[in-house]
Amino acid sequence: MAGRVSKRVVAAVTALGIAIGMSACAPEPERIDIGVDQADGALPADLTTQMQTLTETAMTSIGASGAIVSVSVPWSGEWTAGLGTSGKGGPKVDPSMTFKAVNVTRPMTCDLLYALVEKGTVKLDDSVTKWLDSYPAQGNVTLGELCDSTSGLHGYLNAIVTRVRATPERVWNPRELIAYGLGQPTAFEPGARFSESDTGYVLLGTALERAAGKPLDELYDEYVFDPLGMTSSAVPLGVGGGDRLKGSYLDTGEDGNPDCAAPLDMTDLTSSVGSSAAGAVSTVSDLSTYVRALAVGARPYDTDARFADARPVSAEQPTWFTAKGGAYQGGSLVGQYGSLPGYMVAAFADRETGMSVVVVLNDSRASSNVARLLAWQLAALASKAPAADGRTAPEIGLPWTVESLGDELAGYAICGE
């Protein structure tokens, strides 16, 4: 990819595997070198103090008891921190805790699409009905449009969110989720414009599973997690393993407003409710690796065309805020953000340098724009980080500053001091 960090696939060592009843040699998956030369050491203390203050302000504004943040600046250093507590009155947040990666699942699902396109299994312009003949009304929707969120399909989560909060342990069938989305009239003709659709990503995942002849969890392992060494990541039916960050959703008070003193524990909400739209479980370390690989185009199936000719997010947003290929683009950053009951997450990386920012907040009652704007504020600070010894700081011109996003971020506050 011209002007980008180069792709290099490093051959992995083969490991000796033991099959049931017999010995066999099984190679480990190829590990991909994402090509980002990260400086060792921590970011300067004055910079991380500013980052921590911004994060704590955002936490307070939405009633989150905890947050995990990872900021990696190739020419300067890194900062990874767990702030606050895992649940109200719980233990201190450990930055290695797992959590639902929510909408960051969407570019992962598009990764599967582009991997299967490179393999020759599917094409971007394949109709949904080529692989799922049980949805004849979607014959004019392509796999590429599902990935780009230009299908016009309505989302399903708003239709079931009350039931989700009432019975978080329930396992949802992907076809049931799709039915709730397809049961509503389409918003526009396929390809006309961009509009996020969780239904579209679940439909895409179901089609790719059929096309590949493999379960989705195996596809994510094969094409996303294993090649990048994302050992703490999965797309499970349940809630995932590891030491989980407790997630919450604020109840509604007698005055009709969010009751910031009454968080509902949503930690055990099944990932099945997000499926291939928002079902991944991960850590900030894994998501930092992932979003860097996505941004710099490190995988064999990555292509410049995936993010080319991106659509405006909306008429109300700046022209530099666009979307395509399962990801948002803000200036030179590529990534995703969103929420499910319990968590809001944002993960972005710079396409030229691989600078990355990952943010998770453990309450989801407020708009997920809080996570995006906080991540962009941290990126603005990170882009000005001084160079470590022997390094040179590049010029990164993001179209915002910490201050320019402050008022917008404050407008999403739902809790006071």
Q: What are the chain's domains?
A: 44-410 (3.40.710.10)
pLDDT at 240: 87
pLDDT at 417: 59
Reported confidence tier of residue 4, pLDDT bands at 50, 70, 90? very low
pLDDT at 185: 93
Q: What angle do CA 309, 310, 311 make, to 5 degrees?
A: 120
Kindly tell me if the per-residue pLDDT of 273 is higher than 80: yes
Mean pLDDT of 76-97: 97
pLDDT at 147: 98
pLDDT at 1: 42
Across the chain, mean pLDDT equals 92
Kindly tell me if the per-residue pLDDT of 392 is higher than 90: yes
pLDDT at 286: 98
Helix/strand/coil (H/E/C) assignment for every residue in the chain? CCCCCCCEEECCCEEEEEECCEEEEEECCCEEECCCCCCCCECCHHHHHHHHHHHHHHHHHHCCCEEEEEEEECCCEEEEEEEEECCCCCCECCCCCEEECHHHHHHHHHHHHHHHHHHCCCCCCCEHHHHCCCCHHHCCCEHHHHHHCCCCCCCCHHHHHHHHHHCCCCCCCHHHHHHHHHCCCCCCCCCCCCCCCHHHHHHHHHHHHHHHCCCHHHHHHHHHHHHHCCCCCECCCCCCCCCECCCEEEEECCCCCEEEEEEEECCCCCHHHCHHHHCCEECHHHHHHHHHHHHHCCCCCCCHHHCCCCEECCCCCCCCEEEECCEEEECCEEEEEEEECEEEEEEEEECCCCCEEEEEECECCCCCHHHHHHHHHHHHHHCCCCCCCCCCCCCCCCCCCHHHHHHHHHCCCCCCC
pLDDT at 26: 43
Kindly tell me if the per-residue pLDDT of 74 is higher than 70: yes
Kindly tell me if the per-residue pLDDT of 414 is higher than 90: yes
Mean pLDDT of 129-145: 95
Mean pLDDT of 142-162: 97
Reported confidence tier of residue 97, pLDDT bands at 50, 70, 90? very high
Kindly tell me if the per-residue pLDDT of 86 is higher than 70: yes
pLDDT at 27: 57
| Higher pLDDT pick, 263 / 13 | 263
Q: Which two tokens stand for residue 140?
A: 């004019």
Please state the φ and ψ torsions of residue 96, each to the nearest 5 degrees: -90, 0
pLDDT at 22: 33
Kindly tell me if the per-residue pLDDT of 24 is higher than 50: no
Percent over 90 (pLDDT), the chain: 89
Neighbouring-strand partners of residue 82: 68
Q: Read off the amino acid at residue 108.
A: M
Mean pLDDT of 158-179: 95
pLDDT at 16: 25
Kindly tell me if the per-residue pLDDT of 29 is higher than 80: no
pLDDT at 17: 33
Give per-residue pLDDT as tens, 182-207: 999 999 999 999 999 999 999 999 99
